[in-house]
A = this chain, B = another copy of it.
Amino acid sequence: MSNIFSERIIDVPKSFIREILKVAVEPDIISFAGGLPNRDLFPVSALQEASNDVFDSAGKEVLQYSNTEGYLPLREYIAQRYETKKGIKVSPENILITNGSQQGLDLLAKVFLNQGDEIIIEEPGYLGAIQAFSIYSPSFRTVQLSDEGLNIQELTGVLNTYNPKLMYTVPNFQNPSGISYAKSNREAVASLIKDKDIYLIEDDPYGELRYIGEDIISFKKILPEQTILLGSFSKVVAPSFRIGWVVAPDFIMEKLIIAKQASDLHTNYISQRILDQYLSDNDLNEHISLIKDTYNRQRKAMLNSITKYFSDEIKCTKPEGGMFLWVTLPDDIPAMEFFDLAIQNKVAFVPGDPFYINKKNTSTLRLNYSCVDEKNIEMGIKRLADTFARVIK
């Protein structure tokens, strides 16, 4: 009976982060382990109003089945926003609405990856992407991330040695590291893969959450023909709607639509309509400003507390946006062991291991600051520093 399952699923273990989060929910634990947007910032009443407008004006229609591509006015909004915010020209025909960008990853893997096909991924890499791709049994080729972006020498080596079909990147405020690729790094990456048979997936859930510095040019703008762009409303409006999107060239879009239809026919239609109504009646930029103010205060509180309570023995990224920062402990302190001690001290984080392909006992960890207020951030970081002080003795 053990061989009844497909090869693709048989060895995938239960989600490590699911298990971690179970530990981290106890009420007296200060948790930096989550990856959630702050629920106090959800536009509840504006969405309720939008919902009522949609029920009142189109109740029957919005409860019916809909088309696979997604609601056209919503795709037009997204296209328009790309043009206004980033100067990227995208046709609504090249946008597919998905159940969050996680489904975008699944659909891309479905249409591109045969077993053993090579895919480049950042190290550390986004866990949701590792999970989505793993189902299709590719060979991962990792390229290290540092403060400037991808390690260009390593990328050059990978491209010379292997034959990757896809390259997965989160160039803005990456999860888990908080790192953004510098402009020069993006240009170097683009020039290395230009005109090769390789598609770059630019996953950008956090791009709108920049607190300091200036927006950096999108891969979609540098290398439009070879870039597949993923976006999401989860971090800037609300995640429960599960509304994300994929931007892809025509001939890829055609395959994605077939895969989407076979996967679930279409994305929840009434939620698309409510979201579209909300976006018509409200100023998204204004709402994002509120989110940015709060997250930026919490980001600063976390960075300041780290400076205040930790010695120089740890390193930590200094993100300009997003929801995470990334800590590197001394080599001889595995983050998994540190986690067990930290939990005893009533503070939680995500140890780095699940963000690596085939690496264990790493000394890195992810801290989230979107959901914890400044006072608790300081208290939590102090607990973490106390734990660290005992370990390092």
- Bound-complex Cα distance A255 to B7 (A): 12
Which of B8, B114, B199, B234 makes the CB contact (< 8 A) with A6? Answer: B114
Check A48/B55 contact, CB under 8 A, given A8-B110, A106-B262, A106-B263. Answer: yes
| B residues less than 8 Å from A111 (CB atoms) | 5-6, 9
- Bound-complex Cα distance A203 to B114 (A): 29
The answer to whether the Cβ of A62 comes within 8 Å of any Cβ in the partner chain is yes
- Bound-complex Cα distance A262 to B110 (A): 12
- Residues 11-35 of A, flagged 1 when their CB comes within 8 A of B and 0 if not, give 0101100100000000000000000
- Bound-complex Cα distance A87 to B280 (A): 48
Q: How far is the CB of A106 from chain B (nearest CB, A)?
A: 5
| B residues less than 8 Å from A263 (CB atoms) | 99, 102-103, 106, 132, 135, 263
- Bound-complex Cα distance A14 to B111 (A): 14
State the copy count for this chain: 2
The answer to whether the Cβ of A64 comes within 8 Å of any Cβ in the partner chain is yes
- Bound-complex Cα distance A5 to B114 (A): 8
Determine if A63 and B36 form an interchain contact, defined as CB atoms under 8 angstroms apart.
no
Determine if A265 and B114 form an interchain contact, defined as CB atoms under 8 angstroms apart.
no
Which of B18, B63, B117, B259 makes the CB contact (< 8 A) with A239? Answer: B63
Q: How far is the CB of A6 from chain B (nearest CB, A)?
A: 5
Determine if A59 and B44 form an interchain contact, defined as CB atoms under 8 angstroms apart.
yes
